[in-house]
Amino acid sequence: MVIETLEEGNVLVIRPKTDNLDAYNVADFKKEVVAIFEAKPRDVVLSMSYVQFVDSAGLGGILSCMRLMQTHEKRFVIAEMTPQVRSLFELVRIHKIIEIYNTTENAITALSV
């Protein structure tokens, strides 16, 4: 899986370049994100601008990444979710435990405070 990364001060933006985050690519996603994060642990914005579809396995992968960052006492937020993906997060009530921002800029600003 191709993942774009962008450094903004102490914040790392991770942007998976895929339409789907599901049972068939979530393992790659986790592997890539873990490698990027562990190279230099920082606060992370997961930008979902390319992702149109997330299933329960994809959701589990995102939660697993969130917990990894929390164990390093780093913050993890999500930005630029499509309405469909956001609906899934709301359906399983995960939106209450992950901060979600409309734009990556807003997310970076929030993490930079």
Partner 1 sequence: MIAATVSPETLRLTFLLAACLCGTVGGVWFAIVRAKRQLFLKQAVEAVENAAFFCLSPAGRIRWVANGAALFPHCRGRACHGKNAAELFAEKEPFAKMIAALGETAACPCPDRPAPDAAAARETFTATPPGGEPFPVGVTLFPRVKTGRTLLLRVEDLRPLRNAEALLRAYRSGEQSIFRHLNERAAEPRRNAFFNGGNIAVLTTPRKEEMAGDFIHLCRADERICDITLCDVKGEGFYAALLGASVRGDLNQVLTGLILKENPPALPAVDAIVTALKATSLERFRKIGAEGVVCYARFNFAERRLDWAALGDAPILHWQNSQKKVAILHGRETQEALRSGTAPFASNDLFLIPSEMLFAMEDPAGQRFSVDRLAAILEETAPAWSELPDPHQQLMAGIMAFAAQEELPPGCTATFAVVGITPEEETIVREHIKIPFDFLPGDLPVMREAAMALLTAADFPPMRNEMIYLALHEAMVNIIEQRDRQGRHDLSGYFEALRYDAMIVWRFVHNLPFFMPIRIKDPKSDGTQDHGYGLFIIDQIADQVLYNRAADGRSLFEMLTLKESGEEAF
Binding residue for partner 1, selected from 39, 92, 102, 109, defined by CB under 8 A: 92
* 98 contacts partner 1 (rule: CB under 8 A): yes
Residues 6+ apart with CB under 8 A from 35: none
What pairs with residue 16 in β-bridges?
A: 3
* 39 contacts partner 1 (rule: CB under 8 A): no
**Size (the chain), residues:** 113
* 57 contacts partner 1 (rule: CB under 8 A): yes
- How many Å apart are CA 35 and CA 109, to the nearest integer? 25
| Residues engaged in binding partner 1 (CB under 8 A) | 22-24, 53, 55-57, 59-61, 63-64, 66-67, 83-84, 87-88, 90-94, 96-98
